[in-house]
Amino acid sequence: MKAVVFTDVRSVSVREVPDAEIEEPTDAVVRVTSSAICGTDLHMYDGRTGATRGLVLGHEPLGVIDRVGPAAEMVKPGDRVVIPTHLYCGLCVNCARGYSAACLRVRPGAFGAAYGYAGMGPYRGAQAELLRVPYADANCIPVPGKPGDDLEDDLVMLADAFVTGWHATELAQVHAGSTVAVFGAGAIGLLAAYSALLKGAGEIYVVDDIPERLDKARELGATPVDFREGDPVEQIRELRRARGLPPGEEPMGGVQIGIDAVGFQAHDRSAPATENPTQVIHDLARLINPTGHVGIAGVFAEHDLHPAPMGFADGRLTVPWATLFAKGVSVNFGRTHDRRYTVLLRDLVLARRAWPGIVVTHHGRLEDAPDLYREFDRREAGVIKAVLHPQLA
């Protein structure tokens, strides 16, 4: 089969690799129709997280089941399915408690796993014609319709981006009326803002410095904040002041909720060509109101091969705990627990109440992957979210 493989820092190729096969009785093999490229793939592409050469990339697939092992009971060949990024058994104590990203059976001796992901288990990635899906009954989420129908882009966003955006709003306790600031207007930040809108948040600000992404934030119904135009914390405070704060609430002139959808490759605002992995938490600590909440969905790598000048290889960071403590701000982190949200969000999409495919800007064949990775990485050609179609010749 053909697949996108990591070949070197800032280099991917499309290669012929051995077909995905049934290896365990509970497996399925899925013929992938759509497979999105994620900001997480860029951490590997940029040489930060030590992907081995030849690793098949990708963790955001939608497709049709081709074969199942003899122990798969719920899914069958021909079913159209979306496959969550973080695979899980569905049965262990963490899966049973709804913490599927910490599944205890998918990576023996450790917890949690993902497809095509350095340090997250032996599973090959989904930017390929075929994908082996372990524990198929748990990991194949059925969806109606036919490949290429009008929901293809919305459904592929259920594999990771929409679910992670939603997860970020859960980590940060967004509810009706919340004031929210999302840092990062990639697919994750945009879909976190979109999730906050769906939950009825009152005001939503999205911070970035890439014009097309800020335009997309506005299109979704959020207020864009361009950090090239000055300190985003002051900009948001000023926007809120200009709207008019309720009398007596001036000390609450920041926002109640902050979401980090950037992660460890955050740009330093005073020197945007360099990275500062603590930039966003410093901004959030200043911006969040007393008693507020922070949700961190951006990835912080445990082993960074090329840490930024203000970073450490093992992710030890200097964080303004005292400010967060004084304000009584809660901080929640982590990978998305797909099992908890994917079916609910699928049903929101099927009810035509959510259109997460709105963040998809580019489509291509597998052969287009080298160009799309380069453009996405360099923030060129307006790429926000690109989707590959492995069955297209």
Ligand X SMILES: NC(=O)c1ccc[n+]([C@@H]2O[C@H](COP(=O)([O-])OP(=O)(O)OC[C@H]3O[C@@H](n4cnc5c(N)ncnc54)[C@H](O)[C@@H]3O)[C@@H](O)[C@H]2O)c1
Q: Which residues bind Zn ion (CB under 5 A)?
A: 38, 40, 88-89, 92, 95, 103, 105, 160
Q: Which residue is nearest to Zn ion (CB)?
A: 38
Cβ 68 to Zn ion, closest distance in Å?
19
User: Treating both helix axes as pointing N-terminal to C-terminal, what angle do 161-171 and 187-198 enclose, rounded to 10 degrees?
Assistant: 60
Q: Of the two residues 42 and 141, which places its CB atom closer to ligand X in the complex?
A: 42
# residues contacting ligand X (CB under 6 A): 33
Nearest to 154 by CA among 36, 56, 287: 36
Residue 373 is encoded by which pair of tokens? 């990775």
Closest by alpha carbon to 90, among 80, 104, 70?
104
Residues 103-162 interacting with ligand X (rule: CB under 6 A): 160
For residue 35, report the phi and psi dihedrals to the nearest 5 degrees. Answer: -150, 110
Applying the rule CB under 6 A, the residues between 296 and 325 that interact with ligand X are: 297-299
Residue 325 makes CB contacts below 8 A (sequence gap 6+) with none
- Which entry of ligand X, Zn ion, none binds 279, CB below 5 to 8 A by partner kind? ligand X
* 279: contact with ligand X by CB under 6 A: yes
Q: Which residues from 189-228 bind ligand X, rule CB under 6 A? A: 189, 207-210, 213, 227
What's the min distance (Å) between Cβ of 187 and ligand X?
5
Binding string, 235-264, against ligand X, x = CB under 6 A? --------------------------xxx-
* 92 vs 317 by CB, closer to Zn ion: 92
Q: Is 97 helix (H, G, I), strand (E, B) or coil?
A: coil
User: Could you say which of Zn ion, ligand X, none residue 89 binds, taking C-beta under 5 to 8 angstroms by partner kind?
Assistant: Zn ion
Strands 255-260 and 179-183, by their bridges, are parallel
Nearer to Zn ion, 349 or 386 (CB): 386
Cβ–Cβ under 8 Å, residues 22 and 134: no
**Residue 83 to residue 71: CA distance in whole angstroms:** 18
Query: Can residue 30 be called a binding residue for ligand X (CB under 6 A)?
Result: no
Shortest distance (Å) from residue 3 CB to Zn ion: 17
Contact 130/2 with Cβ under 8 angstroms? Answer: no
Integer angstrom CA distances of residue 267 from 184, 232, 314: 10, 13, 19
- Our CB check for Zn ion shows the closer of 40 and 278 to be 40
Instruction: Note whether 335 binds ligand X by CB under 6 A.
Output: yes
Provide the total of helices (H) and of strands (E) in the chain, helices listed first: 12, 17
Nearer to ligand X among residue 30 and residue 261 (C-beta):
261
Residue among 81 and 157 whose Cβ is closer to ligand X = 157
Report DSSP letters for 308-335, one per residue: -TT--TT------HHHHHHHT-EEEE--
The answer to whether 95 and 89 have CB atoms below 8 angstroms apart is: yes
d(CA 36, CA 137): 22
Q: Which does 88 bind (CB under 5 to 8 A by kind): ligand X, Zn ion, none?
A: Zn ion
Q: Which is nearer to ligand X, 4 or 207 (CB)?
A: 207
Residues that bind ligand X (CB under 6 A): 38-40, 42-43, 160, 164, 183-189, 207-210, 213, 227, 261-263, 266-267, 269, 279-280, 297-299, 335-336
